[in-house]
Amino acid sequence: MNAENKVERHTMAVLVDNEAGVLARVIGLFSGRGYNIESLTVAEVDQAEHTSRITVVTTGTPMVIEQIKAQLDRIVPVHKVVDLTTETHAIEREMAMVKVAGTGEKRVEALRLSDAFRARVIDTTHTSFVFEVTGTPEKIDAFIGLMRPLGLVDVSRTGVVAIARGPEAM
């Protein structure tokens, strides 16, 4: 397979006006044109300016990735799009809450492993823990994988947020 057809994973940051329907426009673009969404997060980042930041992780060939960026850019309430993967050195983080139920050995083992992942216990009962764990998506995948045989019952993940290293804004 040559570079032209290689499917790559890219993280994009999209700064939008926080107006009604803007998220539907972005999601509709992906579904309407058949692009993939691996993860999507959104929250207001500037209350005075009413701007929100959407972080979207997508996959595609280089031509498709370029298209996605251009298509995002032409949505009217979009201020700016940055392909964090090609244009910057970006840091990515995700947070998850992971609920593990059980007693005895497994419970102890879960707690021990959570320590290795620097996960925090944010809720506990005699038969369960809720862990809060932060890191790259791979780290969270690994943590969840380890919890599965130890009584994993529920997971809630934020999706990826990302930001470029260094002093510049996006």
Partner 1 sequence: MAAQTMTGAEIVINALVDQGVDTIFGYPGGAVLPIYDALFQQNKIRHILVRHEQGAVHAAEGYARSTGKPGVVLVTSGPGATNAVTGLADALMDSIPLICLTGQVPTHLIGSDAFQECDTVGITRHCTKHNWLVKSVDDLGRIMHEAFYVATNGRPGPVVIDIPKDIQFQSAEYAGMQNVAHKTYRPRVKGDIEAIREALELIANAKKPIFYTGGGVINSGPVASQLLRDFVQLTGFPITSTLMGLGAYPASGKNWLGMLGMHGTFEANNAMHDCDVMINIGARFDDRVTGRLDAFAPNSKKIHIDIDASSINKNVRVDVGIIGDCAHVLEDMIRLYKAKAIRPDKAALADWWKQIDVWRDRKSLSYKASDEVIKPQYAIQRLHELSKGRDTYITTEVGQHQMWAAQHFPFEKPNHWMTSGGLGTMGYGLPAAVGVQIAHPDALVIDIAGEASIQMCMQEISTAVQFMLPVKIFILNNEYMGMVRQWQELLHGGRYSHSYSESLPDFVKLAEAYGATGIRASTPGELDAKIQQMFDTPGPVIFDCLVDKKENCYPMIPSGAAHNEMILADDEDSASVSEEGKMLV
Q: Which residues bind partner 1 (CB under 8 A)?
A: 16-17, 20-21, 24-25, 28, 32, 63, 66-67, 70-71, 73-74, 76-79
Q: Minimum distance between the CB of residue 63 and partner 1, rounded to whole angstroms?
A: 6
Nearest to partner 1 of 77, 159 (CB atom):
77
CA distance 153 to 101: 7
Rounded distance between C-alpha atoms, residue 105 and residue 52, angstroms: 45
CB-nearer residue toward partner 1: 3 or 116: 3
What's the closest the beta carbon of residue 44 comes to partner 1, in angstroms?
16
Burial of 58 per CB tally in 10 Å (0-12, 13-18, 19+): buried
Residue closer to partner 1, measured from CB, 27 or 155: 27
Task: Write down the least CB distance from residue 170 to partner 1, Å.
Answer: 14
* Cβ neighbours around 157 below 10 Å, total: 17
- Is the Cβ of residue 8 or residue 141 nearer to partner 1 in the bound state? 8
8 Cβ contact partners less than 8 Å away, ≥ 6 residues apart: 59, 60, 61, 62, 65, 85
Q: What is the closest distance, in whole angstroms, from the C-beta atom of residue 130 to partner 1 in the complex?
A: 35
Choose between 79 and 93: whose C-beta lies nearer to partner 1: 79
**Cβ at position 75, least distance to partner 1 in Å:** 8
